[in-house]
Structure 1
Amino acid sequence: MANTPLIQTQGLTRNYPGVVALDHVDMDVKAGEVHVLFGENGAGKSTLISLLAGANTPSEGSILVEGKPVSFNSVSDAQAAGIFTVFQEFSLIPTMTVAENMFLGREPGIGPFTNHAEMRRKARALIDQLGFDVPVTAPVAQLSRAQQQMVEIAKAFHGTPKVLILDEPTASLTDREVDHLFKTILKLREQGVAIIYISHRIHEFERIADRVTVLRDGAYVGTTAMDDTDEATLVEMMAGRAIKDIYPEIPHNPAEVLLEIDRLTSRGVRGATLAARRGEVLGMAGLVGSGKSRIFRAVMGLQPTRGGTVTWKGSDITNAPTRDVIGAGIYYLSPDRKSEGLDLAKSSWQNLNIDLMMGREARGAMIRPRALRTTAAGILETVELRESYRPKAVAQLSGGNQQKVLFAKSFGHDADLYIFDEPTVGVDMGTRAALYRLISDIAAAGKAVIVISSDLPEVLNLSHRVLVMAEGRVTAELTGDDRTEDNVLRNFFNETGETV
Structure 2
Amino acid sequence: MSSSTQPGPAEGLARAGAEPARAQPTLLRLEGIVKQFPGVRALDGVSFELRPGEVHVLFGENGAGKSTVINIIAGIFPPDEGRYTFDGQEIKGLTPFKARQLKIQAVFQEFSLVGELSVEQNLVLGREPTRRGAVDRRAMREQATAIFRRLGFDLRPDVLVSSLSRAQQQMVEIAKAILADVRVLILDEPTASLTDSEAERLFSIVDELRGQGVAIIYVSHRMREISRLADRITVLRDGRHIATVNQADVSDDRLIELMTGRRVDILFPDIPATPGDLTLEVDNLTLADGRVQQASIKAHAGEIVGIAGLVGCGKSELIRAVYGLAEVAQGQAVYRGKPLRVKRPIDALDQGICYFPSDRAREGLALTRPIRENASMAALRRPEFSRHGILRRASENAVVKRIMEQLKLRPPNIEPQVGNLSGGNRQKVLLARGLARPVEVFMFDEPTVGIDVGAKLEVYEMMRGLVQDGKTVILVSSELPEVMGLAHRLYVMHDGKVVAHFEREHFSETAILSQFFPRQDSGTALEEAAP
Q: TM-score higher than 0.5 here? A: yes
Residues 1:110 and 2:134 are matched in the alignment: no
Q: Distance in 2 between matches of 1:163 and 1:489?
A: 37
Match 1:313 to one of 327, 336, 353: 336
Asked whether the equivalents of residues 61 and 237 of structure 2 are also in contact (C-alpha less than 8 Å), the reply is: yes
Question: What does residue 473 of structure 2 align with?
Answer: 449
Q: Distance in 2 between matches of 1:368 and 1:8?
A: 50
Residues 1:221 and 2:245 are matched in the alignment: no
Deviations 1:451-472 (A, max 9, x none): 1111233223322223333333
Give the 3 Å change call, closer, same or farther, for CA 425–282 of structure 1 in structure 2.
same
Q: Distance in 1 between matches of 2:457 and 2:411?
A: 19
Residues 1:11 and 2:34 are matched in the alignment: no
Asked whether the equivalents of residues 421 and 451 of structure 1 are also in contact (C-alpha less than 8 Å), the reply is: yes
Residue type of the partner of 1:337? R
Match 1:477 to one of 498, 501, 517: 501
Q: SS of the counterpart of 1:283?
A: strand
Q: Distance in 2 between matches of 1:435 and 1:449?
A: 12
Residue type of the partner of 1:193? V
Question: What does residue 125 of structure 1 align with?
Answer: 146
Q: SS of the counterpart of 1:49?
A: helix
Asked whether the equivalents of residues 400 and 431 of structure 1 are also in contact (C-alpha less than 8 Å), the reply is: yes
Residues 1:345 and 2:365 are matched in the alignment: no
Question: What does residue 187 of structure 1 align with?
Answer: 208
Residue type of the partner of 2:414? R
Q: Distance in 2 between matches of 1:132 and 1:45?
A: 28
Question: What does residue 64 of structure 2 align with?
Answer: 43
Question: What does residue 282 of structure 2 align with?
Answer: 261
Residues 1:436 and 2:472 are matched in the alignment: no
Give the 3 Å change call, closer, same or farther, for CA 459–95 of structure 1 in structure 2.
closer
Deviation for aligned residue 1:93: 4.2
Residues 1:301 and 2:324 are matched in the alignment: yes
Asked whether the equivalents of residues 298 and 319 of structure 1 are also in contact (C-alpha less than 8 Å), the reply is: no
Asked whether the equivalents of residues 360 and 366 of structure 1 are also in contact (C-alpha less than 8 Å), the reply is: no
Q: Distance in 2 between matches of 1:486 and 1:231?
A: 24
Residue type of the partner of 1:428? D
Asked whether the equivalents of residues 305 and 319 of structure 1 are also in contact (C-alpha less than 8 Å), the reply is: no
Give the 3 Å change call, closer, same or farther, for CA 55–353 of structure 1 in structure 2.
closer
- What does 1:200-279 correspond to in 2, within 5 Å? 200-244=221-265, 246-266=267-287, 267-279=290-302
Give the 3 Å change call, closer, same or farther, for CA 483–383 of structure 1 in structure 2.
same
Residues 1:489 and 2:513 are matched in the alignment: yes
Question: What does residue 334 of structure 1 align with?
Answer: 357
Asked whether the equivalents of residues 63 and 425 of structure 2 are also in contact (C-alpha less than 8 Å), the reply is: no
Residues 1:78 and 2:99 are matched in the alignment: yes
Q: Distance in 2 between matches of 1:287 and 1:318?
A: 29
The alignment covers a number of residue pairs equal to 496
Q: Distance in 2 between matches of 1:366 and 1:493?
A: 53
Deviation for aligned residue 1:387: 7.0
Q: Distance in 2 between matches of 1:365 and 1:328?
A: 22
Q: Distance in 2 between matches of 1:284 and 1:322?
A: 21
Asked whether the equivalents of residues 20 and 218 of structure 1 are also in contact (C-alpha less than 8 Å), the reply is: yes
- What does 1:458-473 correspond to in 2, within 5 Å? 458-473=482-497
Residue segments in structure 1 that go unaligned for 5+ positions in a row? none
Deviations 1:303-353 (A, max 9, x none): 233444422211122776544333222211111222222222322222233
Q: Distance in 1 between matches of 2:27 and 2:165?
A: 34
Quick check: 261-270 or 408-417, which moved more? Answer: 261-270
> CA RMSD, aligned part only?
3.1
Asked whether the equivalents of residues 8 and 26 of structure 1 are also in contact (C-alpha less than 8 Å), the reply is: no
Deviations 1:272-324 (A, max 9, x none): 33211111112222211222222212222322334444222111227765443
Q: Distance in 2 between matches of 1:8 and 1:120?
A: 34
Asked whether the equivalents of residues 63 and 421 of structure 2 are also in contact (C-alpha less than 8 Å), the reply is: no
Residue type of the partner of 1:50? N
Q: SS of the counterpart of 1:85?
A: strand
Deviations 1:426-459 (A, max 9, x none): 1222222222222111111111111111123322
Q: Distance in 1 between matches of 2:344 and 2:125?
A: 44
TM-score computed with the length of structure 1 as normaliser: 0.88
Deviation for aligned residue 1:483: 3.0
Q: SS of the counterpart of 2:259?
A: helix
Q: SS of the counterpart of 2:433?
A: helix
Residue segments in structure 2 that go unaligned for 5+ positions in a row? 1-18
Deviation for aligned residue 1:70: 4.2
Give the 3 Å change call, closer, same or farther, for CA 337–21 of structure 1 in structure 2.
closer
Residue type of the partner of 2:36? Y
Residues 1:60 and 2:93 are matched in the alignment: no
Percent identity, aligned pairs only? 41
Asked whether the equivalents of residues 12 and 22 of structure 1 are also in contact (C-alpha less than 8 Å), the reply is: no
Residue type of the partner of 1:85? A
Deviations 1:69-104 (A, max 9, x none): 442523344334433222333334455444343333
Question: What does residue 439 of structure 2 align with?
Answer: 415
TM-score computed with the length of structure 2 as normaliser: 0.83
Q: Distance in 1 between matches of 2:195 and 2:29?
A: 34
Asked whether the equivalents of residues 104 and 184 of structure 2 are also in contact (C-alpha less than 8 Å), the reply is: yes
Q: Distance in 1 between matches of 2:257 and 2:511?
A: 28
Asked whether the equivalents of residues 56 and 231 of structure 2 are also in contact (C-alpha less than 8 Å), the reply is: yes
Q: SS of the counterpart of 1:395?
A: helix
Deviation for aligned residue 1:410: 0.9
Q: Distance in 2 between matches of 1:22 and 1:349?
A: 24
Q: SS of the counterpart of 1:223?
A: strand
Asked whether the equivalents of residues 366 and 374 of structure 2 are also in contact (C-alpha less than 8 Å), the reply is: yes
Asked whether the equivalents of residues 6 and 194 of structure 1 are also in contact (C-alpha less than 8 Å), the reply is: no
Q: SS of the counterpart of 1:293?
A: helix
Deviation for aligned residue 1:420: 1.1
Q: Distance in 2 between matches of 1:13 and 1:79?
A: 21
Give the 3 Å change call, closer, same or farther, for CA 325–141 of structure 1 in structure 2.
closer
Give the 3 Å change call, closer, same or farther, for CA 87–376 of structure 1 in structure 2.
closer
Residue type of the partner of 2:279? L
Q: Distance in 2 between matches of 1:387 and 1:40?
A: 13
Residue type of the partner of 2:263? A
Give the 3 Å change call, closer, same or farther, for CA 358–120 of structure 1 in structure 2.
farther
Asked whether the equivalents of residues 10 and 24 of structure 1 are also in contact (C-alpha less than 8 Å), the reply is: no
Q: Distance in 1 between matches of 2:211 and 2:329?
A: 50
Give the 3 Å change call, closer, same or farther, for CA 449–82 of structure 1 in structure 2.
same
Asked whether the equivalents of residues 129 and 140 of structure 2 are also in contact (C-alpha less than 8 Å), the reply is: yes
Deviation for aligned residue 1:198: 0.8
Quick check: 304-313 or 405-414, which moved more? Answer: 304-313
Q: Distance in 2 between matches of 1:233 and 1:359?
A: 46
